[in-house]
Structure 1
């Protein structure tokens, strides 16, 4: 689902990345307002992949693609499965969802469904494989699809091909089974995505910039290896202490054995002494 309220903080974040890195691919899931496309085209991205299931939006984006060869439009919804799904289009510009819009009435009073469309649905993993992003380079993903955040974040953490994530997510679950921003952030950070910036001006939604900290994984791997080396060293120290004790016991046994041999030899010599004759 694309949100009606467009937060532009990520436009500045995208500009920052463009200033220091070359972006191999910019992916917009839930493309949003026209200003979002303007910001995307102003970046240095080699490829701009627009992912949106709304037929009306797709037509508009395909027209833009004729003016900018970097743009490729993918008319599909990113969700929990590959197949088809029903898209609910509302009377508010920019709001559409694969779920019933009634779950959003509390946030957007007067929201109504004005059209439904059968659209193609795919998981992020399927889309990334189709998009051929394994060639390296920085991949920036803008996620603005409420209700699909958990599925997208999980796939993103499994593939690790996305370098930067701009995510707009609800502070509290919009429906049963949704994950709030705090839970999504915890999962991302557990999987080496660090929160670099955030925009909390909207009371209901949070915009965050995450970047994949590959060094953190390397450091954690080295820390685990070091801990394992310490455990092995401690085992060797314990083995060494046991060897010292065994050597001490062996020395003591040798000393006793030699004492017994000496005592036996003394006895044999005594028994061999001749008796005096008269």
Structure 2
């Protein structure tokens, strides 16, 4: 068994983290993940969605660093590929600290391998639906000082949390822990641009370990609570502070709303 495959993984059940890894061109996925991804590509421009979301994450981290953020909590971080949060942040500020959180064993195992020699970054296996477990984790307590501003990242993850688990309350619990001056970045699948494709995608994901729950603009906007959205507000991923004006041409293929808000 390779180093990045933990004992007990059921390779026949696809996971969102490994599907995303495949769509981004990574190699930490199984045949079941690739089959799901190929079915997804029949109903949505999923490679573009993944790429645009990843580019948004890169811009968010650079923006937060430019605003003085030195510590990041990345919820639903997935399997590390090129341009991870710690790589982007520590290139600009070598002292930046990052904790990755994911409930997928392969994602965490591979993250741990990458971070073995990085004292300012760690990965933990935990579920974002249990915020208090995350806050109590030794790595979080070591690397994240919640009395100081934090960059909280929920990028491409809340669509895997059903309404029954109240993602709005989960987001509120994490926001409440943050000091004034903290930033909260979120992106999530939406129905608004391609409702038929999203309905088909729900069927594709139905038998994976991570069914999807796309949401409307208003439902995603509620995740930010009383934080103040920075310009340009809640938009499709390539529309959020693009590096080049031409980048927004892909907005219609994004299918994820994205935004960043600050705690006053």
Q: TM-score, normalization: structure 2?
A: 0.53
In structure 1, what is the equivalent of residue 109 of structure 2? 59
List gaps (5 residues or longer) in structure 1: 80-122, 215-278
Post-superposition, which runs of at least 4 consecutive aligned residues in structure 1 deviate over 4 A? 173-179
Per-residue deviation, residues 52-72 of structure 1 (Å, max 9, x unmatched): 222222221111111311111
Higher-RCO chain (CA-CA 8 Å, sequence separation at least 6): 2
Mapped to 1, the partners of 2:91 and 2:118 lie a distance apart of 11
Q: Please, which of 62, 65, 68 is the counterpart of residue 118 of structure 2?
A: 68
List aligned pairs for 1:136-215, cutoff 5 A: 136-143=147-154, 144-145=156-157, 146-148=159-161, 149-161=167-179, 163-172=182-191, 179-188=215-224, 190-197=225-232, 198=235, 199=237, 200=239, 201=251, 202-212=253-263, 214=264
2:65 and 2:89 in contact (8 A); partners too? no
Aligned-pair CA distance for 1:43: 4.5
List aligned pairs for 1:107-126, cutoff 5 A: 123-126=130-133
Mapped to 2, the partners of 1:176 and 1:30 lie a distance apart of 14
The count of residues paired between Structure 1 and Structure 2 equals 168
Per-residue deviation, residues 99-120 of structure 1 (Å, max 9, x unmatched): xxxxxxxxxxxxxxxxxxxxxx
Q: Please, which of 51, 56, 60 is the counterpart of residue 9 of structure 1?
A: 56
List gaps (5 residues or longer) in structure 2: 1-15, 21-49, 162-166, 192-197, 203-210, 240-250
2:101 and 2:124 in contact (8 A); partners too? yes
CA gap of 1:17–1:160, structure 2 versus 1, over 3 A, is: closer
Q: TM-score, normalization: structure 1?
A: 0.51
CA gap of 1:170–1:177, structure 2 versus 1, over 3 A, is: closer
Q: Return the structure number with greater strand share.
A: 1
CA gap of 1:168–1:22, structure 2 versus 1, over 3 A, is: closer
2:227 and 2:261 in contact (8 A); partners too? no
Indicate the RMSD between aligned Cα atoms, in angstroms: 3.0
Name which one, 1 or 2, has greater alpha-carbon Rg: 1
